[in-house]
Amino acid sequence: MATWLSPCARFLLLLLLSQQKFPSHASDTLTANQRLSGNQKMISQDGNFALGFFQPAVVAEGSNSKWYIGIWYNKIPGQTIVWVANRAKPVSDPVSSGLIISDDGNLVILRNHSESPTWSTNIKNNKAANSTVAILLNTGNLVVRHGPNTSVVLWQSFDDITDTWLPGNKLSRNKKTGVVKQMTSWKDQGDPTPGMFSIGLDPKGSTQYIILWNNSVVYWASGNWTGNSFSGVPELSPTNSYPISGYTFQFVDNDEETYFTYNVKSDPQIFTRAIIDISGLFQTFVWIEATQAWVTFFTQPKTKCSVYGTCGENSMCSENAASSCSCLKGFVESYPNNWVLNDHTSGCRRMVPLKCANNSSMNKQDKLYLIDNVRLPDNAHIINAANVHDCELICLSNCSCTAYSHNGTCLIWHDHLMNLQDSTGGSDRIFIRLAASEIPNSGTKKWWIIGIIIGGFIILSLGITVVYFLHKRSRISSINQVDGTLISFKYSDLQFITRNFSARLGTGSFGSVFKGVLPDTTTVAVKKLEGFHQGEKQFRAEVSTIGNIHHMNLIRLLGFCSKGAEKLLVYEYMPNGSLDKHLFDSGSITLSWRIKYQIAVGIAKGLAYLHEECRDCIIHCDIKPQNILLDASFVPKVADFGLAKLLGRDFSRVLTSMRGTVGYLAPEWISGAAITTKADVFSYGMMLFEIISGKRNLEHTETNMEAFFPVLVARKLLEGEVQILFGTELNNGVSVEEIERACKVACWCVQDSESSRPTMGKIVKILEGLVDIEVPPVPRYLNVLAEGSNNVEFSSYEQLSE
Listing DSSP states for 103-145 in one string gives TTS-EEEE-TT-SSEEEE----S-TTGGGEEEEE-TTS-EEEE
- Edge to edge, the sheet with strand 217-221 lists 183-188, 191-201, 209-213, 217-221
Please tell me the predicted confidence (pLDDT) of residue 242: 38
**In Å, how far are 190, 213, 320, 649 from 279, measured between CA atoms?**
13, 10, 16, 40
Please tell me the CATH superfamily of domain 479-572, with its number.
Phosphorylase Kinase; domain 1 (3.30.200.20)
Cα–Cα distance, 43 to 503 (Å, whole number): 79
**Strand, coil or helix: 572:** strand
Please tell me the predicted confidence (pLDDT) of residue 331: 94
Which residues are known binding-site members?
Answer: 528
Would residue 622 show up in a list of annotated catalytic residues for this protein?
yes
**Domains 479-572 and 579-801 fall in the same CATH topology:** no
Task: Tell me the CATH number of domain 164-302, given options 2.60.40, 2.90.10, 1.10.287, 1.10.15.
Answer: 2.90.10
Cα–Cα distance, 603 to 644 (Å, whole number): 18
Q: What residues of the chain score a pLDDT lower than 50? A: 1-20, 60, 240-244, 358-363, 442-444, 469-484, 648-662, 701-705, 789-802
* Structural domain spans, the chain: 1-160, 164-302, 479-572, 579-801
366 phi/psi in degrees, rounded to 5? -115, 140
Cα–Cα distance, 640 to 633 (Å, whole number): 20
Q: How long is the chain? A: 802
Check if the beta carbon of residue 350 is closer than 8 Å to that of residue 314. Answer: yes
CATH classification code of 579-801? 1.10.510.10
3-state secondary structure string across 716-741? HHHHCCHHHHCHHHHHCCCCHHHHHH
Please tell me the CATH superfamily of domain 1-160, with its number.
Bulb-type lectin domain (2.90.10.10)
Please tell me the predicted confidence (pLDDT) of residue 699: 63
Residue 528: its H or E element? strand 523-529
pLDDT tens for each residue of 501-513: 888 888 776 788 9
What is the reported pTM? Answer: 0.53
Beta-carbon count within 10 A of 686 CB: 24
Omega prior to 243 cis, within 30 of 0 = yes
Strands 420-422 and 315-317, how do they pair? parallel
Check if the beta carbon of residue 96 is closer than 8 Å to that of residue 115. Answer: no
pLDDT tens for each residue of 512-539: 899 998 877 789 999 988 766 666 777 8
225 phi/psi in degrees, rounded to 5? -70, 130
Which residues are known binding-site members for ATP?
Answer: 528
pLDDT tens for each residue of 652-687: 333 333 322 346 888 877 666 778 889 899 999 999
Task: Give me the numbers of helices (H) and strands (E) for the chain, helices first please.
Answer: 16, 41
**Strand, coil or helix: 767:** helix
Cα–Cα distance, 737 to 176 (Å, whole number): 54
Cα–Cα distance, 52 to 72 (Å, whole number): 9
Beta-carbon count within 10 A of 556 CB: 16
Catalytic residue among 622, 631, 680, 772: 622
Check if the beta carbon of residue 395 is closer than 8 Å to that of residue 433. Answer: yes
